[in-house]
Amino acid sequence: MRKGLQNLENSENKNYKIIAVDDEEGIIDSLSIFLKRSGYEFTGVTDPEAAIEKVKNEHFDLMVLDFIMTPIHGDQVVEEIRKFNKDLYILLLTGHKDLAPPLETIRRLDIQGYCEKSDKFDQLLLLIESGIKSIKQMNEIKNINRELSDTYEKLESSYLESIQTLRYTVEAKDTYTRGHSDRVSEYSVLIAKHLNLPESDIENLRLGGLFHDIGKIGVPDSILQKDAKLTDDEYSQIKQHPNIGVHILSHAKIFQDILPIVEHHHEKYDGSGYPKKLSGKNIPYLARITAIADSFDAMSSRRSYRDPLSIESIISEFERCKGTQFDPNLDDIFLDILKNHYDSIKEIQEKYT
């Protein structure tokens, strides 16, 4: 029974690779015999600098490392290894406990343990067995986290596909606004690039533009497709779509950063917008950008009751609404795009015609 358990243990140990580094050939030979007998896959190295390269290019689970070596000591070896490998489990061997590195160094370099050299390897084997158990547990945790991450990504992907379907359903309700969200997304990104915003903001604007009107799924078709002027009650229902959108998107982590865009893209700089009548810098910055992109697309798109506005009329409208409907600084940026970089706008429009 005992022999069977030992054979099973040795068989499991083959799954773990150990590297030993010591500039004394005799120590490496002894460790090789000792650890291979215990079933471990073993590699011995006498040159500490060569050991660094070996760890860089191969996978090892655990390192047994001598402290006093030439041309560099063990702590210097660990210093280099930790620059590219944070996971390697390291046990330090010392000729004498007085020669061990300070505790502060051991903690800083994340050295998991050390013991004195001895003709007997019992203490070292116990430390190695303890280390392998820790490695096994950490691997199991990583596998669980990886599986959870894969499951979460699949759920997110499925949820994103469902939301995309809702978005297409919204745009299918009104042929005049087909492609609207795609254009708003790209106009927003265009403005962001002129502002030299970080990639994270650009990505949020891209995603926020795509889904800013998702809440219109909850607005009756009769209102969305109405050619005549909306009644006060109908307009009140339209004004609910930012809140509906937030409700739809708030259940997925991937949409958390774009909720302010979805909720506040109809706020106006002077506080006369909806749903919360925010004003000035109280309106989230990215929502102020999306508001400009959204308004521009509305002006430049054909509607059942009018043709697209001319570029001259659109420029006049943005000049008139500067500081009232739109953030004046962002308005200036967009006016510069309209006047001096209109080709970028036309490329987007042609893409979704």
Task: Give pLDDT tens digits for 78-115.
Answer: 999 999 999 899 998 887 666 667 778 888 888 888 88
Using CA atoms, how far residue 19 sits from 92, 139, 165, 338, in Å, is: 12, 18, 54, 64
Dihedral (Cα; 67, 70, 72, 73), 10-degree rounding:
10
CA distance 244 to 263: 9
Of 14, 17, 154, 216, the catalytic one is: 216
pLDDT computed for residue 96 by the predictor: 64
Q: Is 216 considered catalytic here? A: yes
Low-confidence ranges of the chain (pLDDT < 50): 1-5, 7-8
Which of these, 94, 88, 52, 97, lies nearest to 69 by C-alpha position? 94
Which of these, 11, 8, 17, 22, lies nearest to 121 by C-alpha position? 22
pLDDT computed for residue 93 by the predictor: 87
Name the packing angle between helices 199-211 and 285-300 (round to 10°): 50
Q: Whole-model pTM?
A: 0.59
Architecture in CATH for domain 162-351: Orthogonal Bundle (1.10)
Residues 6+ apart with CB under 8 A from 122: none
Answer for the pair 331, 323: CB distance below 8 angstroms, yes or no.
yes
pLDDT computed for residue 44 by the predictor: 95
CA distance 50 to 20: 12
Q: What is the pLDDT of residues 320-336, one digit of tens each?
A: 999 999 999 999 999 99
Using CA atoms, how far residue 259 sits from 208, 215, 251, in Å, is: 8, 12, 11
CA distance 41 to 64: 13
Using CA atoms, how far residue 3 sits from 6, 7, 34, 123, 130, in Å, is: 5, 6, 18, 22, 21
CA distance 243 to 276: 10
State in words which class domain 2-135 has. Answer: alpha beta
pLDDT computed for residue 3 by the predictor: 47
CA distance 170 to 165: 9
Q: What is the pLDDT of residues 275-293, one digit of tens each?
A: 999 999 999 999 999 999 9
pLDDT computed for residue 167 by the predictor: 78
Q: Tally Cβ neighbours within 10 Å of residue 135.
A: 18
Residues 6+ apart with CB under 8 A from 159: 251, 252, 254
pLDDT computed for residue 230 by the predictor: 82
Question: For the chain, what are the domain ranges?
Answer: 2-135, 162-351
pLDDT computed for residue 337 by the predictor: 97
Amino acid letter for position 339: K
Token pair in block for residue 73: 């000591």
Neighbouring C-alpha atoms within 13 Å toward the C-beta of 326: 23
Which of these, 348, 296, 343, lies nearest to 321 by C-alpha position? 296
CA distance 281 to 291: 14
pLDDT computed for residue 5 by the predictor: 37
Residues 6+ apart with CB under 8 A from 124: 64, 91, 93, 115, 118
